[in-house]
Structure 1
Amino acid sequence: MASHIGKLPVAIPAGVEVKLDGQAFTAKGPKGSDSYTIPEGITAVVENNEIVLTPADDLRPTRAKHGLSRSIIASMVKGVHEGYAKRLLIVGTGYRVVAKGKGLEFFLGYSHTITVNPPEGIEFEVVNANELVVKGIDKQVVGQVAANIRKLRAPEPYKGKGVKYADEHILRKAGKAGK
């Protein structure tokens, strides 16, 4: 029995070039290129402008990685075609971000500023002093860099001050009751 997700073919959009060399998969598109090694026991075939993955029937661990491999390949194809982005908001009086070269400088209420430099394949866009966008072709790296920035000053539950995702809802707690 194969994975329900793994059975689905991955459509190759116009402008994206895929290459299969044994278990090595490479995708090139307008945003860049990315590669992945398909686990042993899973075969990939390009037919009718789609990528189809099939597992070996006898190996249980291979079947378990079938859907994962399909999801990673689909994310790679989307990443090199459109790219990924995470929007972060900075909430709080005096809290702000400034572009400094390719990196960012954060003022988050500490006695010092915090500088963050982008890893390979990631770029930052400062929309305004309280909003920034992390962009890249690798979904996992974009999410990890955004999570690391959020961790610099996670939102607190009383006033919601800190760095948060644009689509994140902070559960608020009631403050102390007055007299």
Structure 2
Amino acid sequence: MSRIGRKEIIIPDNIEVITNQHEILVKGKKGELSYSVSELIQIETHNKIIKLTKKKTTQKAQAIHGLSRSIINNMIQGVSKGFEKKLVIQGVGYRSQMEGKNLILNIGYSHSVKIEPPKDINIAVKNNTNISISGVNKEKVGQIAATIRSVRPPEPYKGKGIRYENETVKRKVGKAGK
């Protein structure tokens, strides 16, 4: 039984939510997002509260119930506060820079890697080794961060590579450690 799906979503004062049968549009100071909810879920809004209910009690409806609630809650958080992921580059000679809106990574390959973010995602570089990705859509922010990290994930022997800010890399002992 979905416990997340049964929670009510409280709408802040500065957020506007428009619902049509299975379509929901959220507008705020940072932007606007829309989502089409499955036909198995019914949306009810009253007095700055959104409540999702299942029309049928099938396993698919059960799974989509909590998912839909989480997505709508993330939309409301995104248009009010926004989301941010931070990456750190570690390694001798590894660095990053911005060229217009594109991110250029020099991380030990024979060529530099160019990453073009979507139009609603902002990337900022600090000290050539700290990358900050921000936007209103949690899914896109996380996907771009994962794409950047996948260019050179941290390796377990020296810890060189791109990692999330608070990520701990499990280190291995090399040949000399035997």
TM superposition score category, shorter chain reference:
over 0.9
TM alignment of 1:24-173, pairs within 5 A: 24-173=23-172
Q: Deviations over 1:111-134 (max 9, x none)?
A: 111111111311101122110101
Does 2:19 match 1:16?
no
- Between the aligned residues of both structures, percent identity stands at 44
SS of the counterpart of 1:145? helix
Q: How far apart, CA to CA, are the structure 1 residues paired with 2:121 and 2:47?
A: 32
Amino acid in structure 2 at the alignment position of 1:20: T
SS of the counterpart of 1:4? coil
- Higher mean alpha-carbon deviation, 59-68 vs 119-128, is at 59-68
Q: How far apart, CA to CA, are the structure 2 residues paired with 1:87 and 1:149?
A: 11
Amino acid in structure 2 at the alignment position of 1:3: S
Q: How far apart, CA to CA, are the structure 1 residues paired with 2:83 and 2:41?
A: 27
TM-score, length basis structure 2: 0.95
Shift of 1:66: 0.7
Q: How far apart, CA to CA, are the structure 2 residues paired with 1:117 and 1:39?
A: 32
How many pairs does the alignment contain?
178
Query: CA 1:104–1:6 in 2, change beyond 3 Å: closer, same or farther?
Result: same
> What are the ranges of 5 or more consecutive residues in structure 2 without an aligned counterpart?
none
Shift of 1:59: 3.9
Q: How far apart, CA to CA, are the structure 2 residues paired with 1:154 and 1:125?
A: 19
Query: CA 1:168–1:178 in 2, change beyond 3 Å: closer, same or farther?
Result: closer
Q: Deviations over 1:83-106 (max 9, x none)?
A: 111100000010000111011111
* Aligned alpha-carbon RMSD (Å): 1.4
TM-score, length basis structure 1: 0.95
User: Are 1:41 and 1:56, in contact at CA under 8 Å, matched by a contact in 2?
Assistant: yes
User: Are 1:56 and 1:63, in contact at CA under 8 Å, matched by a contact in 2?
Assistant: no
Amino acid in structure 1 at the alignment position of 2:52: L
Amino acid in structure 2 at the alignment position of 1:42: I
